[in-house]
Structures are given as structure tokens and as C-alpha cells.
Structure 1
Amino acid sequence: MAGPGPTFPLHRLVWANRHRELEAALNSRQHDIEQEDPRGRTPLELAVSLGNLESVRVLLRHNANVGKESCQGWAVLQEAVSTGDPEMVQLVLQYRDYQRATQRLAGIPELLNKLRQAPDFYVEMKWEFTSWVPLVSKMCPSDVYRVWKRGENLRVDTSLLGFEHMTWQRGRRSFIFKGQEAGALVMEVDHDRQLVHTETLGLTLHEPEALLATMRPSEEHVASRLTSPIVSTHLDTRNVAFERNKCGIWGWRSEKMETVSGYEAKVYSATNVELVTRTRTEHLSDQDKSRSKGGKTPFQSFLGMAQQHSSHNGAPVQQAASPTNPTAISPDEYFDPNFSLESRNIGRPIEMSSKVQRFKATLWLSEEHPLSLGDQVMPIIDLMAISNAHFAKLRDFINLRLPPGFPVKIEIPLFHVLNARITFSNLCGCDEPLSSVWVPAPGSAIAASASPFPCEVDPAVFEVPDGYSVLGAERSEPLRDEDDDLLQFAIQQSLLEAGTEAEQVTVWEALTNTRPGAHLPQVTAYEEQLQLERALQESLQMSIEPGGPGSPHGTPPAPPSFEEQLRLALELSSREEEERERRGRQEEEDFQRVLQLSLTEH
């Protein structure tokens, strides 16, 4: 009896780049477009790795999933960037954004329906960005997300809009979601320009061609990706453990409690939280790579961030090799699950460095808080996480099996020197009254409801303000994925103010060898060191009092050497941590002495 035909038929057509036959096979609807081959790749992942643009185009037209990650944790878009092909990157990026938009739009009605069944509320989420690096922590931005929920209507206000042209973008913006019979209405309200962009989900989802056309990225965006390292940052929470924080030295130590936004909260530490950052550079030109040898900037060297470098596909190149099949793997070898490829692989040989840092996250949990994390807060975090990297990390952390209680405050790592502290406050305007929110009068239907914290929200907050111009949907340039870029933006915003005169070199210029918005020729390594020296001098002047005991009449001392500056800067950065550890040791010693005395007396 004849078999069903060759295994992995779509993959084999992709391997040979027989895109017309691939189109016909997909039109027959007899094959699973998301089937994985023995190496864990879908047809789209295989087509991208092999650089077969025509096959990629066919698969994307048939809605192959761009959001899937490989078993090594790389997204399809990142693999497309590694090919160095601008057309490939443009195509994958366009469909990635299109699929993200349709998934977001399709999920909003379900989100609003879930919220409709929960009690109405108003709450504020304060985001504070902190760092162990003194200057970064001094001027990191903060933002307050203000959230109104009434029935199946939701409004989220923010002032920190994102990152563009190497600066934090500020503005007063509201995002309003209103449930309707046909789906939902989404409004983005720009209060600074008094403009409202509206989108009706039912109509948008029925016009895929028009939506896809709006997703085409600019040439500058594509070029920026191809000249920047591929950076992947994620929280590894597989080994996270929660433990109660202790306090007190007299008598037995007690479990720590703190009041947050008027609620008693237990304080927990989440240990073994690992932040994994991987950087790939195989697609970069020698000039791009030379800007930061091995992906390591002067600032990273200053912070002492060790990286482990690794290279894959290191087998000897054979005669029939090609740029995307450097070890000349045959299709029979590739599709044979019993054939070991060992260090051989398809795709451009990977050049990667990685670093793993272990953090301790902290959370404050209140068992008395009336908000429901699952019914009221998680739907909002899920919505914001689709297009916001910070909310995505918060969602990943909250999805862990947390101890009981509502997380009134959470502190988690975002990048290797940047933390986010999120605090829930002003529930239903109880701390700072708002005209749009009030507690209903006793005896009213809302007051008599089963809600532990009855709250009434003015329906006017979900309407377009008077005098605003209402326009159709508008799509902004999507945020870049690489969290490392957001870190660099944060550092730049935090430290630019260190330079007070036009001719001074700021810390940001020392990190990037350029002024924001300028395209200057690359400086030499010697000039780079001079810039970093001058930048560190400015940093230290902000942290060290001028004129020591040996300085007559307050005359500034001679500038320290570069090595001395590095030593002082690192000393400043670690002093607070050392002091904390010293206090902890002293507290433990005092406790042991008191305990010993109490045992002796008895």
C-alpha cells in the first residue's frame, strides 16, 4: 500500500523555493501551515532561515504566524534581520505589525465583555523607573496610568507615550474602548492637539487589505534594524521562589508588613529572577560592529557587565555550501529526525553574546484590597502588553503563581540597570477626589451591590471632549522590540542634563559618540576614551562635593585619572548596596546577642 507521500510537503517546497507549487498546496487547504519539522521550524521559519523571499511572501499571504518563537527563543522578525535582506525585513515586519493589530482588535471585545461583568472602578498605576546607578536613578522618568472602568467601557490615560528620535516622548493621551453590538469602538484622544482618532473594530477586521497597507514600515525603520544588533531580553522565572521579608531585632524577628496606599501589605521577595540578554551581530557590517566591539559599549565596560560570546554553525564549510546553508546540509539529512546535525545548522552562522543577571524582585501583597487581580486588572494589563514592553514584563511576572493577596506594589527588573516600581493607588478617588468618580449615596442600587468597594464612574469620561476634531484611524510607527534600545533611551534622558554648555560632552554623547539627531563620523577609540573621561568627570561632580580638605579656598582639585574616575564611579554605585548589607549583618548580630542573653537569663 502506497504511503501518504513525502513527509513535511510544505517544508520541502520551501526548501527548494518552489513558491508557485507552495501557493497551490496552500490553496488546497490540505496542509497544516504551522506544522513543525524535525528541527522545530514551521514552513515560515524555514523559509526565513534559508532566505527564500518568494516562499516567505506566499506563506505570509496565507497568514502564517509571524509571532512564533523558535526553540532557541528567536522571533521570526529577528531571524529575518539576521539575513541582512532589507526586502525580507520589510515584508516580515509589515505582516508582524498587521497580525499584532488584528490580534489586538479581535481580543478587545472579549476583554470588554469580561470587564462588563466586574464591578466598576477607578484606579491609578504609578510607574517609577529606578536604578542602582546614581545618575540614572536621579532623573528616570515616571508616569501615572489613570484607569476608569464603567460597564464595558474602559479609559486609560498616560503621559509617557514612548520613545522616538532618542528621547522620551511626553504628551497627554487617552485610550478609550467602548463595547458595541458589532464589536467595539476604539478612540485615541490627543489632548495636546485636540484630535481624536477612532476605529470601529468590526469594520477594520473586515478590511484586511486596507489595514495591511497602513502597516508598511519606512525605509529608515528597516535600515535602522539592519544596522543595529538583534537584542533579546526576557525574564527567566522558572526557578523563582517567594519568601516573606523579616524585620525587627528585639525579641523574635517578625514578618514584615507595610502600609501601601492605605492598605496593610505583606512584603515578599522573589528570588532567582534572572534577566537574560542575548545580542546577535552576524548581520552587521564590519563598520557597524566596530562601533561597539563584540556588542560591548564603553558604558557596559564601565558597569562591569561580563558577556559570554558564542558562535554557532562552526563546522567546516563544504564545497556545496551557500550563505544560508553554510555546512551544506542536504534536505534528506535535514528532514530525517534520526540524523544528528550536531553543530551544523541552516541560516547565516550566528554570532552571539549573552549575559545573565540575577535579581531579587519585591512585591507588596494586601489580602484586604477590594480590587480583583484576575477580573479587573489583568484584562487591562493584557491589553496594554500587546504594544508596551513594560506591561509585557509586568504581565509575565504577575502570571507567576503569586502568594495570596492583591499586589498593591511590585518592583521588577526591566533592563540590566533599570527597575520598574508599579504602585496601585487612589482607588475610586479615595486619596485624591475626582469629579468623574464618586462613592454612591447609601441606599442606592450601586451602594447595595455585592461589590466590596462600590464606586460610580461618570459616563462622560468615555465621550469625545467638546471642540475636539474626530478623524479616522491613524497608525503610529511601532515601537522597536529591542529592550536594550529602550534602556539606552532611558540613560540618555536621565543623563543629558549633565551637560550645561553647548561645547561640553554629555554622558549620552560619550555612550554613542554623537549628539542626538546628528550623524557624525565615528570617533577613534582614543577620542572615545577622552569623551568618556569628560563625561565621568561631569557625573562625579554631581555626586562628590567639590573642594576637599586639601583644596585651598575651595579651588577644584586636578581632574583624577581615567582609572581613578572609574574606581570612584563604581564605588559610588555600590556604596548603597554595601551599606544595606552592613546594616543587615549588624541587625543579625544584634539579634543573636539578644537571643543569647535571653537564653542565659532563663
Structure 2
Amino acid sequence: MPMIMAQESEKYPLHRCIFQGDVKTLNILIRTRDITEKDKQGNTPLHLAVMLGRKECVQLLLAHGASVKVKNLAGWSPLAEAISYGDRQTISSLLRKLKQQAREQMEERRPNLVAALHQMGDFYMELKWDFQSWVPLVSRVLPSDICKIHKSGASIRMDTTLVDFNDMRWERGDISFIFNGDQKPSHSLTVLDNKAKLFQRVRYEETELEIEDEVDILMSSDIMAAQMSTKSITFSRAQTGWIFREDKREMVGAFHADFYQINGMVLESRKRREHLSEEDLQKNKAIMESLTKGSSQGFKNGEPPMRRASLNPPPESNITWDEYVVAPPGQCPLLGRNLVYKESSKSFKATVAMSPDFPLTVDMLLNVLEVITPFKHLSKLRQFVLMKLPPGFPVKIDIPILPTVTAKITFQEFAFRNDIDPELFQVPSDYFEDPMRGYGAYLTMMMVLHTASCARG
């Protein structure tokens, strides 16, 4: 047994340096070792550095490009653990690095995405969204929406009236989202507010004020992770008829479709709040709503806004490296705060209608959705389409959006067209650029927070 423990102790030299606070050796090894390596708990060196409060190690790992998005066996990223630990500087450093890595990944994919859009025919498409709930009376007040999508060359325009949807609250508007793939990144994304006749360029890089706002959001809210589990999903042909049962086939708009039952669809939600007090939860609710609606805390009487201070660090862990490294997978010793943790799961009965006649392919749809996923409900659609679906194109889908809400999405119209008006992808001459934080800044934040939420779990 001692020999086994000694062998285990020699594994993961970067992890060991961080655990023991040996920055000097870490600085030597980091140049030749794989900083993405995971130990038996799925923790990378960056996970451990954050969980143990080794700030110098955190900065060293980030400087060498350690991934902020990677998850451990428990499903949490270094950013989630940093929020739990509560050191503002560390959270800010990780968030900045997360943004940088997300930009780099986006720019790496961009040439292939633009080339794929150019190869695709120009088209007009409508997606109808109907939101439903199993909670009595809720379905009566849930919104519906029709997203209208025009595509020409490497340009995509989406018109929508549903700007945001979260926890039974939704924000209506008349918004157009324009992506011009042939433009430089700083000018490729534009949001039009058609009621106010305003526009904003969606930036990939935020101001210091916006970064600090986002740090406040992360420090002031639950560490959330919600995902549609696809591990146990199977598809079976939906049946129709009382006595003589047969496979269900119907027209969905102009398209013949085969209907399938989706079995084993589960929406898993996890929440941590060990970093929040009851006073925090009350006090920060208003701040959270203000920030996510795109209105900054601003400056009052010339004074900078009040910022969340770092928390007192959790008690120093008395776990030794040898104890940590021999712990069975999934039984990670407590290295930070005592978890305040809640998880829930809900099974959904759902159907999908697959059509062999639909002119668009699933791969083409994924390219379109990659552009417009800053809208959270469209991000859910993209997650669903990434699953291994039955043959054909999903012309009608049920997907869970929230634990109590399901969306029914119908591709009710599609046509390849060569007469798409190029002016649709330009800002109208009578629109003014909005200097205030509005939909453009809102979508910028949503893009970052969507990435952050993926990284958190």
C-alpha cells in the first residue's frame, strides 16, 4: 500500500507543485509539461490553483494559456471554483482569459463559417416558437414568436420580437440581428432596435466598466449549470390510430414528415451558492436585473460604482497531497468552501418531426445557428440539433427551455431565393447609433455570459 501511495504521489507533477505552493518548480515544469492534463478528479492544474487560492500559480498558468473552459468530473470549471472562492482579482483574470480564448476560437472558426455560408444558397426561412408549460395557467401567459431569417452570401439577418426569456420573464421588442461575415469582426455584428430606430455594433471586446460589471454579476448570483442530458436519449417512431396502429406521418407546412418520440430527455439543473449570504441574495437581485437589461450602474456624482469586494478566503485545507491524489475518482476531498448545492432533473416527453423533403441540411442549419446563438433560446435549439437525430431535417421539435417550460419550434416556411434585398443587411439611413448600453451591449454580455455559463458547468 505505501508503494502504491508513493507511485500515485509521483503522478501529476504540475498539480503537486500547485498543491504544495512550489511556484519555483512550477515555473520550470510548466514549459515542458501538459498544462491541460487532468488528475483523477478531472481537475486541471488551473482548477487546483483556484480552489486552493494559489494566486501566483493562477497567473502563471493563465500566462501559459491554460484553458478556463475545461470542466472537472463534478462538471465545474476553474471559473466556477473561482466564484466560490471569492477573490475578485482571480475571477476578473479568469473572465478576461475566457473572453480572449472565446474570441480566438471564434476567429479560428470564422473563415470556415464564412466559406460555408458563401457555398450555401440564399434563402428566406421562418421559425415559429410556441412556449408551453406543465404548470397550470402558466401556458396562457407564455409568449410566442416568429423568427424571420434572411440569408445572402455570408450575411444573415434575423428579425425577432422576443429579445430575452428567463424565469417566467420575457422582454418584447422589434429587434433585427445582422451578421455580415465579409466585414471585419468589429463591424460584423449589428443590432437594430426598429421601434426606437437605433443601432449598435456588437463588440467582441468590452470596456473596463463592462468587465467589472460582469464580475459583479458573477459574484452576485448563483453558480448555475443547466443542460439537456443526451446520454440516455433514444428515438422511436410515434404511432397513430386506436386499433390499427401505424407510424405517424403528417405534413408540416409544405413538407412530409415522419414523427418520432424522444425518450429519455432530461433537463439537469445544478446550483451553488456557498459564496452568497441571504443579504447578498436580496441586495444583488436588483443589481443583477439592472445589469442584464443593459443598464450600467453608472457613476453617481462622479463617483465610481460600488463593487463587490473579495470574500474572506475559506479555511486553509488540511488535506495533504498524498491524501488528495489517492482519493477515488468522484470523491474529491473538500479544498474550498463547504458546498451549498442543489440539483434537480426533470424528464420531458417530446417529439421531433423529421422531413426528407426540407431543402436545408442539418449542417447548414448549424452554421446559421452558430451566428445567432447569442439569443439564449436559439442556443438551446443549437444544442438539440447537435444530437444524433433520425434521418431527415427536424421541421418540428419540442425542447425544454427551462425546468417548467418547453418550446415547440416549427420550420413553417423555407425557400431558396436569389432576390434577397442587399439593403436588408445594412443599417437604414434614418437610424442613429445608440451611445448608451442597449441591445448591442446586452447581446455582447449575453455572448460572454453564455460562454461563461458553459464554462461554469
TM-score (normalizing by structure 1): 0.60
Q: Aligned runs of 1:535-546 on 2, under 5 Å?
A: none
> Distance between the aligned counterparts of 2:260 and 2:347, measured in 1?
17
Q: CA deviation at 1:272?
A: 1.0
Matched with 1:237 is: 230
> Distance between the aligned counterparts of 1:126 and 1:331, measured in 2?
55
Matched with 1:162 is: 164
> Distance between the aligned counterparts of 1:270 and 1:405, measured in 2?
15
> Distance between the aligned counterparts of 1:286 and 1:199, measured in 2?
35
> Distance between the aligned counterparts of 1:187 and 1:469, measured in 2?
16
CA-to-partner distance for each residue in 1:316-348, whole Å, 9 max, x for gaps? xxxxxx94654x22224434x688895634232
8 Å CA contact 1:236–1:276 kept in 2: the answer is: yes
Closer/same/farther in 2, CA of residues 419 and 368 from structure 1, 3 Å limit: same
Compare CA radii of gyration and give the structure with the larger one: 1
> Distance between the aligned counterparts of 2:229 and 2:182, measured in 1?
39
Amino acid at match of 2:106: R
8 Å CA contact 2:158–2:178 kept in 1: the answer is: yes
Q: Choose from 319, 322, 344 the match for 1:329.
A: 319
Matched, 1:382 2:370: yes
Which fold has the larger relative contact order, with Cα–Cα distance below 8 Å and residues 6 or more apart in sequence?
A: 2
Q: Choose from 269, 272, 282 the match for 2:274.
A: 282
Q: Choose from 217, 240, 249 the match for 2:211.
A: 217
Q: Choose from 46, 49, 52 the match for 2:51.
A: 49
Q: Aligned runs of 1:541-556 on 2, under 5 Å?
A: none
Q: Aligned runs of 1:131-170 on 2, under 5 Å?
A: 131-162=133-164, 167-170=169-172
Q: Choose from 171, 174, 177 the match for 1:172.
A: 174
> Distance between the aligned counterparts of 1:341 and 1:464, measured in 2?
52
Higher fraction of strand: 2
Q: CA deviation at 1:172?
A: 2.7
Matched with 2:413 is: 426
Q: Aligned runs of 1:283-432 on 2, under 5 Å?
A: 283-285=275-277, 323=314, 326=317, 328-335=318-325, 344-374=333-363, 376-385=364-373, 387-428=374-415
8 Å CA contact 1:178–1:184 kept in 2: the answer is: no
CA-to-partner distance for each residue in 1:347-393, whole Å, 9 max, x for gaps? 3232322222211121111111222221x2111223333x3443333
Amino acid at match of 1:229: D
Q: Between the two proteins, what is the percent identity of the paired residues?
A: 34
Unpaired stretches in structure 1, ≥5 consecutive residues: 1-5, 205-210, 292-321, 429-452, 485-602
Closer/same/farther in 2, CA of residues 181 and 21 from structure 1, 3 Å limit: farther
Closer/same/farther in 2, CA of residues 338 and 85 from structure 1, 3 Å limit: closer
Closer/same/farther in 2, CA of residues 475 and 333 from structure 1, 3 Å limit: same
Provide the alpha-carbon RMSD of the alignment: 3.7
8 Å CA contact 1:14–1:46 kept in 2: the answer is: yes
CA-to-partner distance for each residue in 1:113-149, whole Å, 9 max, x for gaps? 1121122111012222210113221111233222111
Q: CA deviation at 1:460?
A: 2.2
> Distance between the aligned counterparts of 1:237 and 1:341, measured in 2?
21
Closer/same/farther in 2, CA of residues 362 and 98 from structure 1, 3 Å limit: same
8 Å CA contact 1:198–1:471 kept in 2: the answer is: no
8 Å CA contact 2:40–2:329 kept in 1: the answer is: no
Matched with 1:554 is: none
Q: Choose from 424, 440, 447 the match for 1:461.
A: 424
> Distance between the aligned counterparts of 1:146 and 1:254, measured in 2?
35
Equivalences, count: 409
> Distance between the aligned counterparts of 1:146 and 1:8, measured in 2?
52
Q: CA deviation at 1:19?
A: 5.2
Q: Choose from 111, 114, 138 the match for 1:112.
A: 114
> Distance between the aligned counterparts of 2:329 and 2:407, measured in 1?
44
Closer/same/farther in 2, CA of residues 341 and 230 from structure 1, 3 Å limit: closer
> Distance between the aligned counterparts of 1:161 and 1:324, measured in 2?
43
Q: Choose from 56, 69, 77 the match for 1:75.
A: 77
Range with greater deviation from structure 2 (233-242 or 159-168): 159-168
8 Å CA contact 1:175–1:186 kept in 2: the answer is: no
Closer/same/farther in 2, CA of residues 213 and 289 from structure 1, 3 Å limit: closer
Q: CA deviation at 1:167?
A: 4.9
Q: CA deviation at 1:7?
A: 5.3
Closer/same/farther in 2, CA of residues 340 and 119 from structure 1, 3 Å limit: closer
CA-to-partner distance for each residue in 1:397-426, whole Å, 9 max, x for gaps? 222221112111101112221111111122
Q: Choose from 5, 14, 39 the match for 2:18.
A: 14
8 Å CA contact 1:270–1:361 kept in 2: the answer is: yes
Unpaired stretches in structure 2, ≥5 consecutive residues: 1-9, 284-312
Closer/same/farther in 2, CA of residues 73 and 54 from structure 1, 3 Å limit: same
Amino acid at match of 2:271: T
Amino acid at match of 2:340: E
Matched with 2:262 is: 270
Closer/same/farther in 2, CA of residues 234 and 189 from structure 1, 3 Å limit: closer
8 Å CA contact 2:163–2:375 kept in 1: the answer is: no
Matched with 2:301 is: none
Amino acid at match of 2:34: D
Q: CA deviation at 1:471?
A: 8.1
